[in-house]
Amino acid sequence: MTQTITDTNFSFPGQTAVYHGKVRDVYTLDNDYMVAIVTDRISAFDVILPRAIPFKGQVLNQIADHFLQATTDIAPNWLTATPDPNVSIGHKCEPFKIEMVIRGCLVGYSWREYKAGKRELCGVPLPDGMKEYDIFPEPIITPSTKADEGHDEDISAEDIVKTGLATQTEFDELSTLARQLFARGQEMAKKQGLFLADTKYEFGKKDGKIYVIDEIHTPDSSRYFYNDSYQQYLKDRKQSPHHLSKEFVREWLMDNGFQGKNGQVVPEMTDEFVKSVSNHYIELYEQITGKKFVKDTSDDIQKRIETNVLKALNEL
């Protein structure tokens, strides 16, 4: 199998902190800049799976860069440089401890909840009589808490304000930005023959200004369908739309008896399955960006990252 990057342990000049997330290792420098290294780790149901996926980090980092660059007219974002296929450098912001999840249609988690009989999600009422994959009258925002460890939890707009995670004014601005970003994402996806079904955004503040932080519109944070297969399904309800998202990993795990619940064991990830996941990520990169994916096959990924980051920091 191709070399992967699973863990990092760098010590950069001015480093004041490091945070190892589910996928990213984030280094804080002088409490002003952040170096985000996108590893090849993969998570599902808030659990880091035991095997890394070749080129996944490169795919995520380069898709995020693609969309962050394409949405600066909507909202400022944290990104200042992408000096390496797996690395982004940008402003350190104080994050809102919520994820702004926005859904354009009834699929995935929202469908599972709906099928179980729920007609409200995060305080948002859901119409009766909907079927899986139906488009909502307008996109709905279903926030979740941003957990440092363990599972994120659904939360309503009312409770976000009540618990002080954001003021009402801040939440209204976050909602507006999320809707504008989602509209741009759907527009860009449509040009590439895709339908952006749902996604999530994270925001932070610096000097009183709201910034988009983290990745946007990547397969880890979004769900895409091929638009032709999606529109055909809405007409005849026969063959499910062809997905381009991480949902197929979740479905594979569920089919093999794993949903992240206590006592459940992650099924064996064979070489064949790992390769299929890698190819799936590369397929999405090429489809969503319209660019050919160029695999970086460096013999020493860690050394390459360190060299490129140090050079970029000298230029800040």
Can you give the residue ranges of every domain in the chain? 15-93+248-314, 95-245
The highest-level CATH class for domain 95-245 is: alpha beta
What's the pLDDT at 87? Answer: 98
What is the distance between the alpha carbons of residues 205 and 207, in angstroms, rounded to a whole number? 7
Q: Kindly tell me if the per-residue pLDDT of 245 is higher than 90.
A: no
Q: What is the mean pLDDT of residues 129-142?
A: 98
Contact 47, 260 (CB under 8 A): yes
Label residue 247 by pLDDT band (50, 70, 90).
confident
- Mean pLDDT, rounded, of the chain: 94
What's the pLDDT at 248? Answer: 84
Label residue 109 by pLDDT band (50, 70, 90).
very high
Q: Kindly tell me if the per-residue pLDDT of 2 is higher than 90.
A: no
Q: Kindly tell me if the per-residue pLDDT of 147 is higher than 80.
A: no
Which CATH fold would you assign to the domain 15-93+248-314? Phosphorylase Kinase; domain 1 (3.30.200)
Q: How far is CA 144 from each of CA 156, 267, 272, 275, 282, rounded to the nearest angstrom? A: 8, 27, 34, 31, 28
Q: What is the mean pLDDT of residues 245-266?
A: 91
Label residue 190 by pLDDT band (50, 70, 90).
very high
